[in-house]
């Protein structure tokens, strides 16, 4: 199966009839210092990307917005994702208003809960607040289901066309979101590459109409990994700030079913499964390969 930057995937849970997400997007994590706006402009104007993955917590959305405007491509033709950060679970709309102001737009196409982890909004940092003992300052009183209710509210206001989640396990969705959701998440953005294919979670999401989106798709093996995901119809958001790589990452893939099967089987070898984004939150997330004991912050 081949894909191109024009390929899109249906979002069955979206309240917007016919809603889709472009299969390939540009990741923007850790891009800034003057390099991100030109990279975004190049991706949109020259390479033809129509999907940009941003987040409040990347602290670079002004540059993302600048790059999009400089591309000259109309806002309505670009699919922008952003994410509500942990310290804003109690104030989703406030976080989204900052996102919209920084991006210079009046809506995002997709808003995600970045992690199912509410952190103290009045703590010692707006990013990763900590307690005196060094552990993360988790907002124990707040439930992720309450955050989802606020997500539904901003969707109804039209400030976010679609809403979804990120870094949610099946357990987290089953216990916190699906029992109360009036609108089911359109996507779950998760770490997906051949070393962390999460086959069971992907199958579960598809059954629920929740589209998995692959972050860190280049993982350790670089470019072929994103191709493996996209060739299976899973949107992927590879990040690069280098024009030649942006072009390469958005170019059509020619993977045979045999190639995809080989990529899928990589993590089955003993000791090969690996998750790259693993923060010591100290709370249960419910992933098969990520136990709460492993995440407890060292004192
Ligand atoms: N929801 C979440 O919690 C979460 C977590 C992580 C990431 N994300 C999103 O997913 C995006 C992608 O993930 P990621 O940035 O962690 O990792 P990634 O896209 O898998 O890899 C990016 C790295 O690969 C390099 N690279 C890019 N294209 C390449 C190519 N063709 N050949 C060789 N190297 C290449 C990039 O360097 P250069 O820039 O120098 O090319 C960069 O160092 C992020 O930017 C972010 O938008 C979301």
299 has a pLDDT exceeding 50: no
225/249: higher pLDDT: 249
When computed from its CA atoms, the radius of gyration of the chain, rounded to whole angstroms, is: 18
Tokens 């089987």: give the residue. Answer: 265
240 has a pLDDT exceeding 50: yes
Instruction: Tell me if 45 CB under 6 Å of ligand 1.
Output: no
- Cα–Cα distance between 129 and 123 in angstroms, integer? 5
Instruction: Tell me if 223 CB under 6 Å of ligand 1.
Output: yes
Residue to mutate, 35, 195, 216, 274, ligand 1, most ligand atoms under 8 Å from C-beta: 216
In this predicted structure, what is the pLDDT of residue 270? 84
The catalytically annotated residue of 29, 42, 56, 58 is 58
Residue bearing the CA closest to ligand 1, atom 29: 245
Tell me how far the alpha carbon of residue 169 is from its chain's centroid: 14
Instruction: Tell me if 53 CB under 6 Å of ligand 1.
Output: yes
> Comparing C-alpha atoms, which of 234, 68, 218 is closest to residue 226?
218
Q: How confident is the model over 198-235, as pLDDT tens digits?
A: 999 999 999 999 999 999 988 754 445 566 566 678 99
Taken in order of first residue, the domains within the chain and their CATH numbers are: 8-295 (3.20.20.100)
Tell me how far the alpha carbon of residue 65 is from its chain's centroid: 18
Q: Are 84 and 160 spatial neighbours (Cβ–Cβ below 8 Å)?
A: no
Instruction: Tell me if 216 CB under 6 Å of ligand 1.
Output: yes
196 has a pLDDT exceeding 50: yes
In this predicted structure, what is the pLDDT of residue 293? 60
Q: Are 5 and 147 spatial neighbours (Cβ–Cβ below 8 Å)?
A: no
Going by DSSP bridges, is the β-strand pair 108-113/160-166 parallel, antiparallel, or unpaired? parallel
298 has a pLDDT exceeding 50: no
The answer on whether 88 is annotated among ligand-binding residues is: no
Instruction: Tell me if 28 CB under 6 Å of ligand 1.
Output: yes
151 has a pLDDT exceeding 50: yes
Measure 223 CA to ligand 1 centroid, in angstroms.
Answer: 10
Average model confidence (pLDDT) across the chain: 91
Lowest mean pLDDT among 23-32, 114-123, 194-203: 23-32
Q: Are 15 and 183 spatial neighbours (Cβ–Cβ below 8 Å)?
A: yes
- Cα–Cα distance between 74 and 97 in angstroms, integer? 21
- Cα–Cα distance between 280 and 101 in angstroms, integer? 31
Going by DSSP bridges, is the β-strand pair 211-215/160-166 parallel, antiparallel, or unpaired? unpaired
Please identify, by atom number, the ligand 1 atom nearest to the C-alpha of residue 226: 20
User: What six digits make up the tokens of 264?
Assistant: 């899928």
Lowest mean pLDDT among 83-97, 158-172, 181-195, 247-261: 247-261
User: 92-103 and 144-157 are packed helices; what angle lies between their axes, rounded to 10 degrees?
Assistant: 50
Q: Are 228 and 263 spatial neighbours (Cβ–Cβ below 8 Å)?
A: yes
Please identify, by atom number, the ligand 1 atom nearest to the C-alpha of residue 246: 28
Measure 194 CA to ligand 1 centroid, in angstroms.
Answer: 15
**Residues 6 or more apart in contact with residue 58 via CB below 8 angstroms:** 28, 29, 30, 31, 32
Tokens 């969705």: give the residue. Answer: 173
165 has a pLDDT exceeding 80: yes
Residue to mutate, 36, 58, 189, 240, ligand 1, most ligand atoms under 8 Å from C-beta: 240
Q: Are 190 and 290 spatial neighbours (Cβ–Cβ below 8 Å)?
A: no
| Catalytic residue flag (residue 29) | no
Please, what sign has the CA dihedral across residues 273, 278, 281, 286? Answer: negative
> Comparing C-alpha atoms, which of 92, 91, 137 is closest to residue 112?
92
């Amino acid at each position: 199966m081949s894909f191109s930057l024009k390929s899109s995937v249906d979002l069955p849970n979206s309240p917007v009839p016919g809603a889709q997400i472009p299969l390939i997007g540009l990741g923007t994590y850790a891009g800034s210092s003057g390099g991100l706006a030109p990279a975004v402009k190049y991706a949109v104007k020259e390479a033809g990307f129509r999907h940009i993955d941003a987040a409040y917590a990347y602290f670079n959305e002004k540059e993302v917005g600048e790059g999009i405007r400089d591309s000259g491509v109309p806002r309505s033709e670009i699919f922008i994702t952003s994410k509500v950060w942990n310290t804003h679970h109690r104030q989703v709309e406030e976080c989204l208003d900052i996102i919209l102001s920084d991006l210079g737009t009046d809506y995002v196409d997709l808003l995600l809960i970045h992690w199912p982890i509410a952190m103290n909004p009045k703590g010692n940092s707006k990013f990763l607040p900590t307690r005196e003992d060094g552990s993360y300052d988790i907002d124990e009183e707040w439930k992720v289901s309450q955050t989802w209710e606020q997500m539904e509210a901003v969707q109804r206001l039209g400030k976010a066309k679609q809403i979804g989640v990120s870094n949610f396990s099946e357990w987290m969705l089953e216990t916190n979101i699906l029992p109360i959701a009036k609108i089911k998440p359109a996507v779950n953005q998760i770490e997906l590459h051949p070393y962390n294919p999460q086959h069971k979670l992907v199958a579960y999401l598809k059954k629920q109409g929740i589209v998995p989106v692959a972050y860190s798709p280049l993982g350790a093996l670089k470019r072929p990994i994103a191709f493996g995901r996209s060739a299976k119809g899973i949107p992927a958001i590879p990040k690069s700030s280098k024009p030649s790589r942006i072009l390469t990452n958005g170019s059509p893939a020619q993977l045979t079913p045999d190639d995809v099967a080989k990529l899928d089987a990589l993590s089955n070898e003993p000791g090969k499964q690996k998750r790259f984004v693993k923060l010591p939150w100290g709370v249960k997330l419910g992933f098969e390969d990520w136990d709460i004991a492993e995440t407890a912050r060292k004192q």
